[in-house]
Structures are given as C-alpha cells and as structure tokens.
Homo-oligomer: A and B are copies of this chain.
Amino acid sequence: MKPVKVGLIGLGNVGSGTLSILVENAAGIAQKLGFPLEVAAVCSPRVAEKKLPEGLGAGVLRTTDWREVVNHPEVEIVAELVGGTGVAREAIEAATRAGKSVVTANKELLALHGAALWKGAIEAGANLAMEASVAGGIPIHTVLREGIAGDRVQSLFGILNGTSNYILTEIEQKGSAFEDVLKEAQRLGYAEADPSADIDGYDARSKLAILTALAFGEQITPADIYTEGIRRVTPLDFEYAHTLKHTIRLIGTARRVKGGLAMSVRPTLLAQDAIMASVNGAYNAVWVRGEYGQDTFYYGRGAGPHPTGVAVVSDLMRMARELRAGSPQRVSPFAHAKLESEKPVSREGIESAFYLRFQVKDQTGIISSLAGILAEHGISIDAVLQLPGESKAKLPFVITVEPAPEGAMAQALARMAKLPFMMEAPVAMPMEKGV
C-alpha cells in the first residue's frame, strides 16, 4: 500500500525525538499500519546545523521555511512541534486550510485557541491530533477520546508538570529549601532559566484546560482556573504533612459540582497510601473517576524527546490510518453542544479540608485568636500540630480543618494574615482523599 508522507515543523527536543523514532522504528510502524509512514520534509530555523538521523533519505526536503513543509505536494500530515502561539498557529491554520491533517504537541496554543483551531480544521475537512500536548509519555488523550469514551467523567486529578513534581520530590527527600532545589534543577537542565511557567502552575493550567475539554467537552479559558504554584512549599511543610501521613504534590483538578465544573491547580496534601502520592520525580499521572467505570489511573514520563515523540508518532499513525480509510467524522472536543452546564463555577462554595501553616512570633493567646476567627467563619479545627525545636521568633505551626467552603476559608485567612503576631501570610493547601 502507498506510503503516507509527513512533514515536521520544529526540530527541538520533541521534533528530534519524533524524527528519530520515525526513522529507527519505521519497520515496526509499517508493520502495525500495514503501510509505511515516511518523512518527506523537515523544517527548523537552523536545519543546516542539525544532526539528522542517518537513515533519513537524501530526498527529504530540509528547509527553514515552514510554508515549504505545509505546501509540499507529497506531505499529507503536518506535525507542528515549534511551540508558542505565533508561527505554530499560522502553520496549523495554513495546513488545515489546505486540508492536511495536523499533529501538534502545543499545550499553550491549544489551551488558548483549541476551539478555534478545531473549528477551522473541521470546516476544512482536516483532522487534528494533540496527544503530545499533555503529559508527554501518558496516552491520556487516547484514553479519554476512545478508551473510556462510553463513560461519563465525574472528576479528574493530575500531576501535570514534571519539573515542579521533581522539585517537590527533591524538597521531600533531601529536606532542601525550594530556592536551592530550583537552582540545582536549573543547573541540571530540569528547570528553565525562567522557571515561572513550571513552578507557578501555568504549564499545568494549560494542560488541565485541555484535559477538561476532552473529559467534559467544554472549552475552558485557562485564566478561569484557580492557579497557585509551589514557591511557598517548604521542607517543614513536608515534615508536617508526613506527620499527618500525607505528602504534597502540585495537583490539577476538574470535577463536576452543582452548577458546573470546579477547577484548580495548587499544591495539595495527598494521603501517603494513595497511589498518586507515590508519583515521584519528573513523572506525570492522571486519575480519572467515571460514573460507570469508576477509578482509573495513568502514569508515565511527563516530558522528554522520546516519550513525547511516542505521542507524536502514535498520533501520526492514527492520522495516517484515518487518511487511508477516509477520515472518521469529527466532533470538536472543545465545543460540544451542551447537555447541561459545565461552565466553571466560583470556588466560594466548594468544600475542602485544609492544611494551614502559620509562622508566628511566639506569645500567649495565638491559638485562641486563630481558633476564634475560624469559629466565626463556621470552620471546625481537626488538629493542631507543632513540631519541636523551632525558633520562638518565627515559630511555625499547623492547623488542619474539617471540610469548609473555600469562600469562608479565604475570608478567615485574610483576617488571620493581619494579626499582629503573624510573621508572614498563612500557607493554605487543600487535603484530598482517595486519589
């Protein structure tokens, strides 16, 4: 059977990983498909300097102009592996307008403009695939789109950013301060020079927006997702969390609640015996709870040229298979006709148990002041913990509270932050059970 030819735009980490798998595993891919999948064109601003795989044919177009890939007469599927929201968007739109299928790894672009890109593709009769945009090595798109398509997702929880999970795991295992771990991670190349997207939760937020679209069929504006990063998590928080038989992870979550979807990305206490709590280092994981299939859990590498390359290549194989058969009718995952409201809801009324960590100047009456404020907002204390051996001038201690509405919690926290003995704003993290 005639080969399907693909063009790659972008030869960075993901692009080069994808290219090496396409070349090295060509025989295995052809065996599974029943026909070969061939690279016809590659594009990079520095294509002349790139070390390309030896098996790449001499006839393959090497160009610095993405338009030459999109317009290449033999290219039927374009892989956009550039990232960002500029050239990437132009290239995807040009390719789908030309009726070509597109595979993209671009979480930022999809989170912001996924609905528009899908609309354009469907109107042009082209197909879009985006497995590599979330949790590189985990085929979570395939799972939500096909594997458990018959279920009705009730909630999902995920560790969606490998860098911040690596940093949290290092703080936990080595007891080092956040700043020191971050510097070491930057030195090792695990964190970027500007680490904000990872450690402030924005990268996880983009991925959560895409997963929510897939799981619930709603276009989510990333800015609607409550997001908090990991900068304030200390070794001491892990000590307290362990005392409570918990650990701390940056968790993105979306769940159906009365009136819509509750979504957040924030450091969260997880019970140590939860499977999610054993996800360490640069791994990602997603927990899905369905109305019918109940709990399923997915775990794998969060990033890396080869794990993400597998996602891109698997998408290319699916697009190729569908091209050869006449592509199945498509429904945008970003904009179902709604059966019910799945809009984001305000967090005010969402209930959660909380871990609260305070840094205070030691004096009498602290606990009674804090307990008084919590009581006035209708919040019940579950436990008060103070580990020994800390400085009296900046004394840390922890209160855990029973499930309370986030609105009440926020008001109480704002009042407590202003108390004269409070050395810094309290740290508050929800405590999740059963994920």
With a cutoff of 8 Å between Cβ atoms, the chain B residues found around residue A387 in the complex are: none
Evaluate contact between B143 and A296: CB separation under 8 angstroms.
no
- Assuming A25-B292, A146-B317, what are 11 further A-B pairs, CB within 8 angstroms? A21-B151, A21-B292, A34-B331, A137-B296, A142-B143, A142-B146, A146-B318, A292-B307, A293-B300, A299-B299, A321-B329
Evaluate contact between A292 and B314: CB separation under 8 angstroms.
no
Within 8 A of B (CB), among A148-162: 148-152
Evaluate contact between B275 and A1: CB separation under 8 angstroms.
no
Q: Mark A288-302, 1 if CB is under 8 A from B, else 0.
A: 001111111111110
Evaluate contact between A301 and B294: CB separation under 8 angstroms.
yes
A381 to B147, CA, bound (A): 45
Evaluate contact between B293 and A149: CB separation under 8 angstroms.
no
Which residues of A approach B to under 8 Å, CB–CB? Answer: 1, 17, 21, 25, 27-29, 31-35, 131, 137-139, 141-143, 146-152, 217, 273, 275, 278-279, 290-301, 304, 306-307, 309-314, 316-318, 321-322, 324-331, 336-337, 339
Q: A300-B296, A301-B295, A325-B325 are in contact. Are A146 and B148 (CB under 8 A)?
A: no
Evaluate contact between B328 and A32: CB separation under 8 angstroms.
no
A377 to B356, CA, bound (A): 60
Q: A28-B339, A292-B306, A329-B1 are in contact. Are A139 and B146 (CB under 8 A)?
A: yes
With a cutoff of 8 Å between Cβ atoms, the chain B residues found around residue A146 in the complex are: 139, 142, 146, 314, 317-318
B296, B306, B326: the one contacting A326 at CB < 8 Å is: B326
Evaluate contact between A28 and B295: CB separation under 8 angstroms.
no
Q: List 6 A-B contacts (CB under 8 A).
A: A25-B152, A31-B339, A149-B317, A298-B298, A324-B328, A324-B329
Number of copies: 2
With a cutoff of 8 Å between Cβ atoms, the chain B residues found around residue A143 in the complex are: 139, 142-143, 147
With a cutoff of 8 Å between Cβ atoms, the chain B residues found around residue A311 in the complex are: 150, 293
Evaluate contact between A294 and B275: CB separation under 8 angstroms.
no
Task: Report which residue of A29, A297, A336 has the largest number of chain B beta carbons within 10 angstroms of its beta carbon.
Answer: A297
CB distance from A93 to the nearest CB of B (A): 23
With a cutoff of 8 Å between Cβ atoms, the chain B residues found around residue A337 in the complex are: 31
With a cutoff of 8 Å between Cβ atoms, the chain B residues found around residue A148 in the complex are: 139, 310, 314
With a cutoff of 8 Å between Cβ atoms, the chain B residues found around residue A312 in the complex are: 150
CB distance from A336 to the nearest CB of B (A): 5
A294 to B17, CA, bound (A): 13
Q: A139-B146, A313-B150, A329-B1 are in contact. Are A293 and B307 (CB under 8 A)?
A: yes
With a cutoff of 8 Å between Cβ atoms, the chain B residues found around residue A151 in the complex are: 21, 25, 310, 313-314
Evaluate contact between A150 and B21: CB separation under 8 angstroms.
yes
Evaluate contact between B149 and A32: CB separation under 8 angstroms.
yes
CB distance from A30 to the nearest CB of B (A): 9
CB distance from A132 to the nearest CB of B (A): 10
B32, B297, B317, B331: the one contacting A299 at CB < 8 Å is: B297
Smallest Cβ-Cβ distance to A301: which chain B residue: B294
With a cutoff of 8 Å between Cβ atoms, the chain B residues found around residue A316 in the complex are: 150
